[in-house]
Amino acid sequence: MKIVEENRSIRDLNTLKLAGTAAAYAEVHSRNELTEVLQQTHRKPYRIVPLGEGSNVVLGSMLNVLLLRYMKQGFKVIDESTEHITLRVAAGQNWHQLVMHCVQNEWYGLENLALIPGTVGAAPIQNIGAYGVELNQFVVSVSGVFLPQHNTNQACEVFQFSVSDCHFGYRNSIFRGELRDRVLITSVDLKLSKKFNPELGYPALSDFLHNEYGSNSGVTPRQLCDAVIAIRQSKLPDPDVLPNAGSFFKNVIVSEKENHRLKTKYPDMPCFPVENSTHYKIPAAWLVEQCGFKGRQGENGIGVHEKQAIVLVNRGAEDNVTASELLSFAKTIQQAVSGRFGLELEIEPQIYE
Ligand code: FAD
Ligand code: NAP
């Protein structure tokens, strides 16, 4: 029988290393194990929350939930042609290891997404993206099971969503919206190319490659991956060394009119047109930095990283800092940005209280 741990400390389950306890925690490797866990817990007064490696969550200190991790790793090839290969990747697979494995095997597309922490199963939730590349460019389908609702023992119905069913958007999907905590993703089908077609549009990336190799043309997949890794390591705190959850705030999307208003008042404000729309994206990091928070320490060891104004860090992990302390500091930042720019910063990690 599968063992469900009750009153489980959450500290090692989230990269912010926030302190607290979850009512229960279980790891499953198959649908049979999932059924066993559900049979053991269906009369319990807690709901189920799927969890990956905990790199994009804020976990409350007294969570009345069963945190459920799907652990199966690896992939199999389900389709192949001279130009493409389609992989079915198990949800428990570490994302970065998959990216490196694909590059080694000469299956291309994921290079710009190197070193993003977390699992393959969590990647569709916010349609992970970096340096102008997003997961949805490769998704064929996402499969899993619907989780039973509170206190029922109904069998889990399976699903397979096509890419259009997933309603992918900018750091968004149906899984963050109407299906939040309603499904456990068990695998993701990804179609990769056998031809290397690098995306080098981001200045940070092209400048780095230029400096390193004198030119961008002729960059190899491995060089591109290494560049992404080097840039990220130079700017982002490693969660194993300094607890964090990556970007804490989403970039702000505004209308053309709003962008014009802001640009008139703040001519130095960076902004980027959003593809296939009349809207603009304003980097949250710039807004937070303008309000003087970059590198600032709050109370209890919570603070803003000195190189990345949207990364909140927890230097107080040993002192049992909790989600409410982190969120109260985040609110101070949100209020400052709202007061100065009239823009509302949305928190990116999923909050469970
Ligand atoms: P978790 O944090 O465990 O979970 C996140 C959400 O997914 C939760 O709501 C959870 O319920 C749900 N979930 C997890 N697994 C499943 C499953 N099997 N089925 C259903 N729901 C599930 N993100 C980017 O997009 N781009 C970046 O460049 C990036 N850089 C980062 C850098 C750092 C240093 C850090 C700490 C984070 C970064 N992130 C980035 C955020 C994070 O890496 C991604 O969101 C990642 O996909 C989270 O994976 P996880 O396994 O840790 O998910
Ligand atoms: P950066 O390269 O310094 O760029 C700053 C911001 O400007 C980013 O938010 C980026 O938007 C935007 N930007 C830059 N060039 C752009 C272009 N040519 N077109 C459109 N938008 C552009 O960013 P960074 O903070 O060092 O991060 C690098 C990449 O990794 C970014 O894509 C970022 O999203 C990703 N990242 C994400 C997380 C996370 O937790 N979500 C954490 C770390 C890094 P986008 O953010 O939309 O790309």
SS (H, E, C) the chain: CCCCEEEEECHHHCCCCCCCEEEEEEEECCHHHHHHHHHHHCCCCCEEEEECCCCCEEECCEEEEEEEEECCCCEEEEEECCCEEEEEEECCCEHHHHHHHHHHCCCECCHHHCCCCCECCCCCCCCCEECCEEHHHCEEEEEEEECCCCCCCCCCCEEEEECCCCCCECCECCCCCCCCCCEEEEEEEEEEECCCCCCCCCHHHHHHHHHHHCCCCCCCHHHHHHHHHHHHHHHCCCCCCCCEEEECECCEEECHHHHHHHHHHCCCCCCEECCCCCCEEECHHHHHHHCCCCCCECHHHEEECCCCCCEEEECCHHHCCCHHHHHHHHHHHHHHHHHHHCCCCCECCEEEC
Mutational pocket test of ligand 1: of 95, 115, 116, the residue with most ligand atoms within 8 Å of the beta carbon: 116
- Closest-lying ligand 1 atom to the alpha carbon of residue 91: 18
Task: Provide the terminal-to-terminal Cα distance of the chain, rounded to the nearest Å.
Answer: 29
| Mean pLDDT in residue range 185-205 | 96
The residues carrying an active-site annotation are 171, 247, 348
Question: Which distant-in-sequence residues (6+ apart) come within 8 Å of 199 by Cβ?
Answer: 112, 131, 132, 133
Higher pLDDT, 36 or 215: 36
Q: What's the 202 CA to ligand 2 centre distance in angstroms?
A: 8
**Ligand 1 in reach of 130 Cβ (< 6 A):** yes
Pocket test for ligand 2, best of 272, 279, 294 (most atoms within 8 A of CB): 272
- Identify the residue whose C-alpha is closest to ligand 2 atom 12: 283
Q: For residues 268, 127, 129 and 81, what is the CA-based torsion angle, rounded to 10 degrees?
A: -140
- Tell me: the pLDDT tens digits for 206-227? 999 999 988 888 899 999 999 9
The band of 156, judged by pLDDT with boundaries at 50, 70 and 90, is confident
Handedness of CA 174, 11, 89, 72 (dihedral sign): negative
pLDDT-derived band at 155 (thresholds 50, 70, 90) equals: low
Q: Is the CB of 68 under 6 A from ligand 1?
A: no
118 lines ligand 2 (CB under 6 A): no
Report the pLDDT averaged over residues 79-100: 98
Count of all residues that appear for the chain in the document = 353
Distance CA 349, CA 121 (A): 15
Q: From the CB of 243, is ligand 2 less than 6 Å away?
A: no
Pocket lining: 70 vs ligand 1, CB cutoff 6 Å: yes
Give the mean pLDDT of 92-102.
Answer: 98
Q: How would residue 3 be classed by pLDDT, with cut points 50, 70 and 90?
A: confident
Q: Is 283 in the pocket of ligand 2 (CB under 6 A)?
A: yes
Does position 97 have pLDDT exceeding 60, yes or no?
Answer: yes
Nearest CA to ligand 2 atom 31: 130
